Amino acid sequence: MRLQSEARRTGQPFKTLVNELLRSGLAQRRSAPRVERFQVEAHNFGGLRPGVSLDSIGGLLEHLDGPEHR
């Protein structure tokens, strides 16, 4: 709808207007600075302690904070 009104306003054929806008958008995209991809680095914190399980968040909180963690 906006393209049709812009074509009428400028007197350009609809197809010409669409092609110009596509070329302009692609040119801007090519000239935009590349953003580096964010990566998470893994760290070894020495492994788990005996008796600590990561399968239960409630159990882990109880182990770390004691039975009154709630």
58 falls within a domain:
no
Statement: the pTM of the whole predicted model exceeds 0.75: no
57 falls within a domain:
no
Structural domain range at position 11 = 1-32
Q: How far apart are alpha carbons 42 and 40 in whole angstroms?
A: 6
Are 40 and 47 in contact by the 8 Å Cβ rule? The answer is no
What per-residue confidence (pLDDT) applies to 16? 94
15 falls within a domain:
yes
Are 7 and 17 in contact by the 8 Å Cβ rule? The answer is yes
4 falls within a domain:
yes
- Res. 69 pLDDT band, cuts 50 70 90: low
Total count of domains within the chain: 1
DSSP 48: P
Question: Is the torsion defined by CA of 17, 18, 21, 24 positive or negative?
Answer: negative
Q: How far apart are alpha carbons 16 and 6 in whole angstroms?
A: 11
Looking at every residue in the chain, the average pLDDT score rounds to 84
